[in-house]
């Protein structure tokens, strides 16, 4: 019943998506972390096919917020049942919660994630040991609860990400391919023990197979912006427009024209559904990205149009003395195991920009002028609100999509259109002011 025997379909800005045999009906799914970017959008994807997915169980400590659920049609919302679970509890406690709600699942999508705060002044993700401890426990406790609750899924999907390849540690081979060795000797990374936990579970329960999905920087609207790297970029653009100042790019010319690849959460959701429904994808890991290369140059010209920035765009600084240089690790301390260090040059960071009281005041003025439409203030916690964007502004190696393509995946979205759609939904969530235009210009 492979999807390659069925026609492809288009859904709005998402193109060349698979269709499936109509005999696949009555499936049920557990989605953990359904209030996060990836979990919420995979839930949206599954809810589009009511005959195929009859029930979705959203497992998390708190239900997806009403503002996010309001993005869904009423008939979609009616097929979601939230089950309150804390995966740091014992497997027995989790199993009791599942049994109390009569949860069943033919498929599991695991997106739960906890981000312990790093030490004061330390960078995001710098507390690697704590990340491993907490996030390994989340998955281990949850999987241990499944047999206790008499739940036997046919497939469990775990989402990790590009840090699997050590892209945050230094020079990697590019494009990154799924068979690349994991540089586990360089730094603890919770992706690696999570994979081992999943593989061991499936070996002990051979009726269950697995998938791992590894997206690059994720695009998608939820009302927790901490892990959404492109939300602060829009905040920056909106404030600069309000102050009648241009938007400036903090990196150098190489970075300005660098070919960036992002992963729209909705497209990754379609990829994830395809992976778990294809028998040939059983026990395989897949990268995920939009296959829509985009430079910061190309995005900034649209940001100016979207937010009405009359002073336009200022490109990279040409005075070499104004750059702050960040030098990465080299040689055996890199994922490649050899080679010179990576060099990242900036004239400012968005975190530094956000620390200027004038910018916080401008955002408050924008909020006041919105008559209650704009409710979120990222300046309340600058490190959480802007830190992820600074990481995303650095060049990141490309994730190859060859493996998924060879097995029949053809999905595609124009990243610039996807970012615009995300910003439109963030307007509805009260996270951004309304933009000045109704649609993005596709990169064609």
Chain segment 427-438, per-residue pLDDT in tens: 999 999 999 999
User: 138 vs 61, 86, 158, CA distance in Å?
Assistant: 12, 8, 12
Domain interval for residue 108? 3-7+14-218+263-288
User: Do residue 92 and residue 148 come from a single domain?
Assistant: yes
The predicted-structure confidence for 27-69, as pLDDT tens digits, reads as follows 999 999 999 999 999 999 999 999 999 999 999 999 999 999 9
User: 3 vs 12, 159, 198, CA distance in Å?
Assistant: 20, 22, 26
**Is residue 375 domain-resident?**
yes
DSSP 312-341: -EE-----GGG-EEEE---GGGSTTSSSPP
Q: Is the pTM of this model over 0.85?
A: yes
User: Do residue 283 and residue 302 come from a single domain?
Assistant: no
**Is residue 227 domain-resident?**
yes
Closest to 225 (Cα-Cα) out of 432, 441, 2, 10: 432
User: Do residue 348 and residue 314 come from a single domain?
Assistant: yes
pLDDT at 138: 98
The predicted-structure confidence for 194-217, as pLDDT tens digits, reads as follows 999 999 999 999 999 999 999 999
**Number of compact structural domains in the chain:** 2
**Is residue 56 domain-resident?**
yes
The predicted-structure confidence for 105-164, as pLDDT tens digits, reads as follows 999 999 999 887 766 666 665 678 999 999 999 999 999 999 999 999 999 999 999 999
User: If you average pLDDT over every residue of the chain, what do you get?
Assistant: 95
The predicted-structure confidence for 169-197, as pLDDT tens digits, reads as follows 999 999 999 999 999 999 999 999 999 99
pLDDT at 54: 97
- In the chain, what percentage of residues exceed pLDDT 90? 90
- Which region, left, alpha or beta, applies to residue 106 given φ > 0 means left and ψ of -120 to 50 means alpha? alpha
User: Do residue 304 and residue 338 come from a single domain?
Assistant: yes
User: Do residue 96 and residue 198 come from a single domain?
Assistant: yes
User: Do residue 224 and residue 108 come from a single domain?
Assistant: no
Helices (H) and strands (E) in the chain, counts: 15, 16
* For residues 413-425, average pLDDT: 98
| Dist CA 205 CA 414 (whole Å) | 40
**Is residue 253 domain-resident?**
yes
**Is residue 226 domain-resident?**
yes
Give the torsion through C-alpha atoms of 113, 157, 162, 134, to 10 deg.
Answer: 30
User: Do residue 151 and residue 277 come from a single domain?
Assistant: yes
**Is residue 346 domain-resident?**
yes
Structure tokens belonging to residue 415: 């990243």
| Dist CA 183 CA 194 (whole Å) | 15
User: Do residue 194 and residue 322 come from a single domain?
Assistant: no
pLDDT at 124: 62
β-pair type (155-159, 262-264): unpaired
| Dist CA 303 CA 326 (whole Å) | 27
User: Do residue 319 and residue 177 come from a single domain?
Assistant: no
pLDDT at 383: 87
Query: Does residue 226 register a pLDDT over 80?
Result: no
| Dist CA 420 CA 440 (whole Å) | 6
**Is residue 436 domain-resident?**
no
User: Do residue 227 and residue 123 come from a single domain?
Assistant: no
Among 124-133, 323-332, 414-423, which stretch is predicted with the lowest mean pLDDT? 124-133
**Is residue 407 domain-resident?**
no
CATH of the domain at 274: 3.40.50.720
Given a contact cutoff of 8 angstroms between Cβ atoms, the answer to whether 272 and 42 are in contact is: yes
Please report which confidence band the pLDDT of residue 411 belongs to, taking 50, 70 and 90 as the band edges: very high
Which position has the higher pLDDT, 394 or 158?
158
User: Do residue 203 and residue 326 come from a single domain?
Assistant: no
Query: Does residue 5 register a pLDDT over 90?
Result: no
User: Do residue 373 and residue 232 come from a single domain?
Assistant: yes
pLDDT at 34: 94
| Dist CA 339 CA 263 (whole Å) | 28
């Amino acid at each position: 019943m492979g999807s390659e025997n069925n026609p492809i379909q288009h859904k709005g800005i998402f193109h060349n998506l698979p269709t499936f045999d109509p005999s696949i009906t009555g499936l049920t799914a557990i989605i953990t972390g359904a209030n996060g970017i990836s979990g919420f959008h995979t839930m949206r994807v599954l809810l589009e096919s009511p005959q195929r997915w009859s029930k979705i169980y959203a497992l998390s400590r708190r239900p997806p917020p009403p503002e996010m659920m309001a993005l869904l049609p009423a008939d979609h919302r009616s097929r979601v049942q939230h089950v309150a679970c804390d995966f740091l509890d014992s497997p027995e406690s989790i199993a009791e919660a599942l049994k109390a709600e009569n949860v069943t699942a033919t498929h599991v999508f695991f997106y739960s994630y906890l981000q312990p705060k790093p030490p004061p002044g330390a960078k995001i993700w710098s507390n690697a040991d704590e990340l491993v401890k907490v996030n390994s426990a989340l998955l281990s406790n949850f999987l241990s609860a499944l047999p206790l609750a008499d739940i036997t899924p046919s497939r469990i999907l775990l989402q990790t990400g590009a840090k699997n390849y050590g892209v945050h540690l230094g020079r990697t081979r590019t494009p990154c391919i799924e068979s690349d060795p994991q540089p586990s000797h360089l730094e603890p990374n919770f992706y690696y023990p999570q994979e081992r936990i999943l593989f061991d579970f499936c070996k002990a329960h051979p009726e269950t197979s697995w998938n791992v999905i590894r997206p690059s920087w994720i695009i998608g609207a939820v009302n927790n912006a901490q892990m959404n790297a492109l939300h602060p970029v829009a905040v920056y653009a909106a404030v600069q427009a309000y102050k009648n100042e241009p938007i400036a790019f903090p990196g150098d010319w190489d970075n300005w024209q660098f070919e960036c690849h992002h992963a729209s959460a909705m497209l990754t959701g379609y990829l994830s559904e395809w992976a778990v429904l294809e028998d040939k994808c059983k026990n395989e890991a897949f990268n995920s990205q939009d296959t829509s290369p985009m430079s910061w140059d190309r995005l900034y010209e649209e940001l100016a149009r979207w937010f009405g920035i009359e002073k336009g765009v200022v490109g990279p600084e040409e005075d070499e003395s104004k750059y702050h240089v960040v030098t990465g690790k080299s040689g055996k301390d890199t994922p490649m195991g050899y080679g010179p260090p990576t060099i990242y040059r900036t004239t400012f960071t968005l975190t530094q920009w956000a620390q200027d009281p004038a910018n916080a005041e401008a955002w408050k003025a924008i909020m006041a002028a919105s008559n209650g439409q704009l409710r979120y203030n990222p300046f309340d916690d600058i490190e959480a609100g802007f830190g992820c964007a600074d990481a995303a502004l650095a060049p990141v190696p490309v994730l190859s999509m060859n493996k998924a393509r060879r097995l029949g995946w053809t999905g595609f979205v124009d990243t610039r259109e996807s970012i615009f759609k995300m910003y439109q939904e963030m307007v509805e969530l009260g996270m951004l002011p309304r933009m000045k235009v109704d649609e993005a210009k596709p990169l064609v």
